[in-house]
Amino acid sequence: MAIRSAPKTIAPDSDAGLAPVAALAGVSPSLLAALARLGLERVQDLWFHLPLRYEDRTHVTAIADLRVGERAQVEGVIEAIERGFRYRPQLKVAIGDASRQTLMLRFFHFNRAQAEQLQPGTRVLCYGEVRHGAQGLEMVHPQYQRLSGDDATAVEELLSPIYPTTEGLGQKRLAGVIGKALALLPPAPQLELIPSDLCNEHGLGSLRDALLYVHRPPPDAHLGQLTLGQHPAQQRLAFEELLAQHLSLKRLRAAVRRRQAAVLGGSGSLRERLLDGLPFQLTSAQQRVGAEVARDLAQPQPMLRLVQGDVGSGKTVVAALAALAAVESGYQVALMAPTELLAEQHLHNFRHWLQPLGVEVEWLAGKVTGKARKSALARVAAGAPVVIGTHALMQEGVLFARLGLVIVDEQHRFGVQQRLALRDKGLAGEQVPHQLVLTATPIPRTLAMSAYADLDVSSIDELPPGRTPVQTIAISNARRAEVMNRIHAACGDGRQVYWVCTLIEESEQLRAQAAEVAHAELSAVMTGFRVGLIHGRMKPKEKQAVMDAFKVGELSVLVATTVIEVGVDVPNASLMVIENSERLGLAQLHQLRGRVGRGATASSCVLLYQPPIGQLARERLQVMRETSDGFRIAEKDLQLRGPGEVLGTRQTGQLSFRIADLARDAHLLPAVQQVGAHLLAEHPRQAERLIERWIGGAARYMHA
């Protein structure tokens, strides 16, 4: 059995934050393990483990003064109890107070001992959210404690912080250990890592005062301001967190730029032949961005460029031109897309454009198996010039002969480690491949300034000529029959229609079932017209056959799940119906709508919704009706959903902020950039310590 050494006394100085949590008095092995699950290993980790929200338990509210939707603390005497089992076990406890009003406490999870303790005549102090109930106001599963005698109720002196926690670690225990850590905060000058002249210039208050305030807000603190994250103390901490993240990305960029990359240029003959063979002229935006990419590729340092553009703006052609520069220079190109359908669309376009030029395009996806896979792997290892696929490109058995350019489409759908794995396929000593990232989801300026600080950003902000605006309307599902008639009329005029089925559950099987039901319904109504079906559970060959039939006009209506969100181009399709549209985010709705309006005919998008819908869903549908500007939609999407959802944080490991909010704190970013540049140039050691303070172990993600 291992013997744990006695904790040492820690002095509140500049190094106190680096001491292990185990050195704090009273930290048991079980508490240490729970804290480790939260990534809290050093004392300073506890300082910066910030509250999610606050509860006001500094006073007791009379039942007569309670307001629905607010959280409150109430003291009362139990007047009656009732145990019911009609649908499921529940315990109802009615309490009253001096205001002569009654509040119902409702419990669905309880044990016998709990029920026996809550007897009529018992005084209780409870805290919870006030709701409308069948018998007046109620609280469901409030926190409560029994009170003894006639002693005055002891209320909290400060607002109660509610911290992110983990299983087996209650708020009281966590707050206790954070309190011990706060006692070790060093004096303000020793804690501060931003030079005082910069703090004064940008109006930054004391970091020490800010930490103490957010962990221990006084009873007169403005709860509404704290809830919104707008208190000056929270803004001070948000500034430093944004600064740390900005510095880490700038450090990442500098580290990558110190590596070498192949100079990719060539004679330009393949590029000219491709441009001459296209049935359209590049827009001025495509030409500008193409030139920016070409300049990057001609440098001996690796390109790190994000090309963003609205649906249908022509990013794929720009990527193809970059690929030809690599091929002419004798290097291979890997293009990775998140779904097989999108990867197949790239495969179709690249083969259509490049094979007439004598450039072979290899296909490598998860469902390429057996001899076909073995043969494809051999061709890639032998130097196949262009390889297109899904995450299968990153698997261990995939070896490239001379990988010079990595193109990642919709990169926010890939995890950091996945992108690393593909880049590492091209490692050759100090040389790494150039990286070109594409996204059809325009990045709001605030995200581009922060989450993509390691990338140069190019915008294709112009649509090809001949595109017609898509008229968007929102219709209740009660008018479904009218929509069916509209589809029939459009098909009668020789047009084609998408019908998109969505389900809130993350289940491909359920989505497929929903699509099959809609397909049967439309097939019955659309007599004389062929209705196709495509969903994620179909085999790639089946999906491709249906898409090909729709493209050549053999199918009038295509019923699909959201697998057709990106990459599908059928100019004759002029009507899209999105079922249960209230369940989708703005970015996905915009991507789906982008499948129509790709020809010269006026197009429409019908957003079918199932009432009643919430306020957020109503706002999303209103934005879709008002604008087709992808950049404006992206800004609104950031405002409504937050950066984590917009970037797909749960998959990428990026942007897990403790207190900062990019939508709310965008006004801080210009100053963050100025302070960041000064620190990197004049105080690199302090910049490193800032990154370590806020990002710590997560900094391993910064090597993407």
The per-residue pLDDT for range 576-594, each reduced to its tens digit, is 999 888 888 887 888 888 8
Gyration radius of the chain over CA positions: 30
Average confidence (pLDDT) over 664-669: 85
The domains of the chain, with CATH numbers, are 16-54+160-233 (no CATH), 59-147 (2.40.50.140), 269-460 (3.40.50.300), 470-646 (3.40.50.300)
Contact 264, 434 (CB under 8 A): yes
CA distances (Å), origin 431, targets 322, 404, 436, 443, 537: 18, 9, 16, 29, 40
The per-residue pLDDT for range 157-171, each reduced to its tens digit, is 888 899 988 888 889
Distance CA 261, CA 266 (A): 15
Average confidence (pLDDT) over 596-618: 85
Distance CA 226, CA 233 (A): 9
User: Which of 361, 277, 362, 270 lies closest to 321, judged by CA?
Assistant: 270
Distance CA 110, CA 231 (A): 39
- Percent with pLDDT over 70 in the chain: 87
Distance CA 369, CA 379 (A): 15
| Residue type (1 letter), 20 | P
For the four alpha carbons of 213, 218, 222 and 228, in that order, the dihedral sign comes to positive
The per-residue pLDDT for range 244-278, each reduced to its tens digit, is 988 988 887 787 778 889 999 878 899 999 999 88
The per-residue pLDDT for range 460-470, each reduced to its tens digit, is 887 777 677 78
The per-residue pLDDT for range 326-361, each reduced to its tens digit, is 999 999 999 998 877 778 888 988 999 999 999 999
Most confident option among 339-353, 356-370, 487-501, 634-648: 487-501
CA distances (Å), origin 494, targets 45, 322, 490: 64, 38, 7
Has residue 134 got a pLDDT over 90?
no
At residue 666, the pLDDT reads 80
Dig out the tokens for 61 from the structure.
Answer: 């509210």
pLDDT mean across residues, the chain: 84
At residue 575, the pLDDT reads 92
Has residue 517 got a pLDDT over 60?
yes
Contact 312, 280 (CB under 8 A): no
pTM of structure: 0.65
Q: Crossing angle for the helix pair 340-354 and 269-277, nearest 10 degrees?
A: 100
Has residue 11 got a pLDDT over 70?
no
